A and B are shown apart, each in its own frame.
Chain A
Amino acid sequence: MAFSALRFVYLGWIEEHYIEPIFHFSYYGFSWVKPLGVWGMYLVHALMFFSALGVATGRLYRVSAIFLFLTFSYTELIDLTYYLNHYYFVSLICLWLIFMPEPDAQFRMPQWCRFIILFQLTVVYCYAGWAKMNSDWLLEALPLRIWLPAHDDLPIIGPLLVYPETAYLFCWFGMIYDCFIAFFLFYNRTRPLAYFTVIVFHVLTGLLFQIGVFPWVMIGSTLIFFSIHWHERNLNILRKIKVFNALFKLDYPNNNTVNNFHIGPLLRAFLFVFIVFQLLFPWRYLLYPGNLFWTEEGYRFSWRVMLVEKAGDATFYVKDGVTGREGIVYNREFLNIHQEKQMSFQPDMILQFAHFLGKHYSTKGVQKPQVRAEVYVTMNARKAQLLIDPHVDLMQVKDTWAPKSWILPYSP
Chain B
Amino acid sequence: MKKSGILLFCLVAVLIGVVACKKDDPEETKPGFDRVAMLTAYRDQFIVPAYQEALSKSTSLRDAAQAFTAAPSTELLGSLQSAWIDAAVAWQQACMYNFGPAGESGILKSLQEELATFPVSETKLNSILSTGTWNTSDFNRDARGFYAIEYLIFDPLSDAQTLVERFNAQMRRDFLVALCNDVRNRISTVQNAWSSYGSEFISNSGTDAGSSVALLYNEFVKSYEAIKNFKFGLPLGLRPGQTAVAPELLEARYSKISFRLAKAHYNHIVNLYRGVDESKSFKGYLKTVTGGEALVTETETQLSVLAGQFNALDENLDMADRIVNNPQALIDLHTELQKNTKNFKSDMSSLLGIAITFTSGDGD
Interface residues of A (CB under 8 A from B): 82-86, 142-143, 145-147, 149-153, 159-160, 162-166, 169, 172-173, 176, 180, 184, 189-190, 193-194, 197, 209-214, 296, 299, 304-313, 315, 317-318, 323, 325-330, 332, 337-338, 341, 344-345, 357, 361, 364-366, 369, 376-378, 380-384
Asked if residues A309 and B350 are in contact (CB atoms below 8 Å), the reply is yes
The reply to whether the CB of B219 lies closer than 8 angstroms to some CB of chain A is: no
Given the complex, which residues of B lie within 8 Å of A327, measured CB to CB? Answer: 237-242
Choose among B15, B22, B207, B363 the residue that contacts A150 (Cβ–Cβ < 8 A): B207
Given the complex, which residues of A lie within 8 Å of B48, measured CB to CB? Answer: none
Asked if residues B350 and A378 are in contact (CB atoms below 8 Å), the reply is yes
Asked if residues A381 and B351 are in contact (CB atoms below 8 Å), the reply is yes
Interface residues on B, range: 35 or more
Asked if residues B16 and A169 are in contact (CB atoms below 8 Å), the reply is yes
Closest residue of A by beta carbon distance from B239: A327
Given the complex, which residues of A lie within 8 Å of B18, measured CB to CB? Answer: 165
What's the least CB distance linking A204 to chain B, in Å? Answer: 12
Asked if residues B342 and A313 are in contact (CB atoms below 8 Å), the reply is yes
Interface residues of B (CB under 8 A from A): 1-2, 4-5, 8, 11-12, 15-16, 18-19, 22-23, 30-33, 35, 205-209, 218, 225, 229, 233, 237-243, 289-292, 294-295, 298, 338, 341-342, 345-347, 349-364
Tell me whether chain A's interface is mostly helix, strand or loop, or mixed: mixed
What's the least CB distance linking B266 to chain A, in Å? Answer: 18
- Contacts A308-B363, A328-B240 given; indicate if A210 touches B208 (C-beta within 8 A): yes
- Contacts A327-B240, A365-B243 given; indicate if A384 touches B346 (C-beta within 8 A): yes
Given the complex, which residues of A lie within 8 Å of B361, measured CB to CB? Answer: 84, 209-211
What are 7 residue pairs bridging A and B, where the CB atoms are less than 8 Å apart in the complex? Answer: A153-B35, A160-B19, A163-B31, A193-B2, A210-B358, A377-B346, A384-B346
Given the complex, which residues of A lie within 8 Å of B35, measured CB to CB? Answer: 153
Choose among B241, B342, B349, B363 the residue that contacts A364 (Cβ–Cβ < 8 A): B241
Given the complex, which residues of A lie within 8 Å of B355, measured CB to CB? Answer: 210
Closest residue of A by beta carbon distance from B345: A313
Closest residue of B by beta carbon distance from A358: B240
Asked if residues B363 and A309 are in contact (CB atoms below 8 Å), the reply is yes
Given the complex, which residues of A lie within 8 Å of B208, measured CB to CB? Answer: 210
Closest residue of A by beta carbon distance from B18: A165
Asked if residues B22 and A165 are in contact (CB atoms below 8 Å), the reply is yes
Closest residue of B by beta carbon distance from A331: B225
Complex: A369 Cα to B225 Cα, angstroms: 25
Given the complex, which residues of B lie within 8 Å of A82, measured CB to CB? Answer: 359
- Contacts A84-B360, A146-B353, A306-B362 given; indicate if A330 touches B8 (C-beta within 8 A): no
Given the complex, which residues of B lie within 8 Å of A309, measured CB to CB? Answer: 350, 353, 363
Complex: A344 Cα to B2 Cα, angstroms: 47
- Contacts A160-B19, A361-B240, A384-B347 given; indicate if A184 touches B207 (C-beta within 8 A): no
Choose among B19, B354, B357 the residue that contacts A169 (Cβ–Cβ < 8 A): B19
Given the complex, which residues of B lie within 8 Å of A147, measured CB to CB? Answer: 353, 363
9 additional A-B residue pairs with CB within 8 Å, beyond A151-B353, A378-B350? A83-B362, A143-B363, A150-B354, A163-B22, A164-B31, A210-B359, A313-B341, A318-B240, A378-B291
Given the complex, which residues of B lie within 8 Å of A307, measured CB to CB? Answer: 363-364
Complex: A273 Cα to B98 Cα, angstroms: 54
Given the complex, which residues of B lie within 8 Å of A344, measured CB to CB? Answer: 346
Complex: A275 Cα to B14 Cα, angstroms: 39
Complex: A305 Cα to B360 Cα, angstroms: 12
Complex: A341 Cα to B207 Cα, angstroms: 17
Asked if residues A149 and B32 are in contact (CB atoms below 8 Å), the reply is yes
Complex: A357 Cα to B358 Cα, angstroms: 26
Closest residue of A by beta carbon distance from B213: A150
Complex: A248 Cα to B294 Cα, angstroms: 58
Asked if residues A381 and B291 are in contact (CB atoms below 8 Å), the reply is yes
- Contacts A146-B351, A189-B2, A329-B240 given; indicate if A176 touches B15 (C-beta within 8 A): no
Asked if residues A381 and B289 are in contact (CB atoms below 8 Å), the reply is yes
What's the least CB distance linking B57 to chain A, in Å? Answer: 30
Complex: A341 Cα to B355 Cα, angstroms: 11
What's the least CB distance linking A152 to chain B, in Å? Answer: 5
Complex: A100 Cα to B347 Cα, angstroms: 48
Asked if residues A197 and B346 are in contact (CB atoms below 8 Å), the reply is no
Closest residue of A by beta carbon distance from B16: A169
Asked if residues B8 and A376 are in contact (CB atoms below 8 Å), the reply is no
Most chain B CB inside 10 Å of its own CB: which residue of A145, A172, A210, A296? A210
